[in-house]
Amino acid sequence: MSIAARLRKVEKAAGVGGRCLSCRDHYIRYGNEIRRTAPNDLLLTVCDNCGHTIKLIYSGCTERERSVLTAAALDDRLRSDPVKWIASYAWIQYMPRYLEILRIGEEEETRLRDAMRSDKSAMRQVNVLNEYAAHEKRLEVAYNLAKEQLRHQKDGFWADYFIVYGTLDEVRKRQPEINDDLLFSFLVMAEMEVFMWGEKSAETLKLVGDRQREIEEEAERKRFEEEKRKRDEEFKRRDKEFLNRSRALCGLPPLPSSDIHA
């Protein structure tokens, strides 16, 4: 089915048409996953760009994660508080399940790019992905050019944005020393909760603590395995020396290394 037909089918089911580039990119990346997802595991919301309905994937999310997703998409009170809304958006971006869904989209893009030489539908879909990527790049360039000027605004959206993302940048600086993607995600979520709810939640702090213990246990297991490997190598070395000394007393040549523990 062509991308145009796919989009028409989705739009017909939703009762809308004329989707923006962002929506088209979304359905190309996640359309197959959306069709595989049960209706009660989908959040129906409205695209901020074109005003048409769009389906977001809920499956695999905890109840708390679903509540944050729903609030960020539909709660006008949250959206009217820029600091809380920006923090909620960052919280979602680092949510482990959200990152899994992003990887699903990346895998679909890879599949389409591999198929585009022999599949005209795949080629058209890749063209949309390329167009959207170019659009996002232009926005990024424009933002970077204006960033310093925006950073000095004393109030309004951008002032709130840099309050939240200043904290996020501080956590990002620690990412190399954290050296664990899951723990890094939980730490970001905890910091964003200070803006969202006034404090870090007990649930996220438990996730941080549990993951830190898992990392420590894994490190301890690796240390044990490394020590065992060294002990085994030392045993083999001594065993080889003993066997070869015994053979020398009998006037025999040393055994090849491969025959020591045959």
Q: Which whole number is the average pLDDT over 115-141?
A: 94
Per-residue pLDDT at 1? 58
Q: How far is CA 219 from CA 175, 210, 226, 242, in A?
A: 18, 14, 10, 35
Q: What is the pLDDT of residues 194-233, one digit of tens each?
A: 999 999 999 999 999 999 999 999 989 999 898 888 888 8
pTM, to two decimals: 0.77
Token pair 């840099």 is found at: 162
Check pLDDT > 90 for residue 90.
yes
- What are the DSSP calls for 30-82, one per residue? HHHHHHHS-GGGEEEEE-TTT--EEEEE-TT--HHHHHHHHHHHH-HHHHTSH
Per-residue pLDDT at 5? 62
Token pair 């996020």 is found at: 168
Q: What is the pLDDT of residues 44-71, one digit of tens each?
A: 999 988 888 899 999 999 999 999 999 9
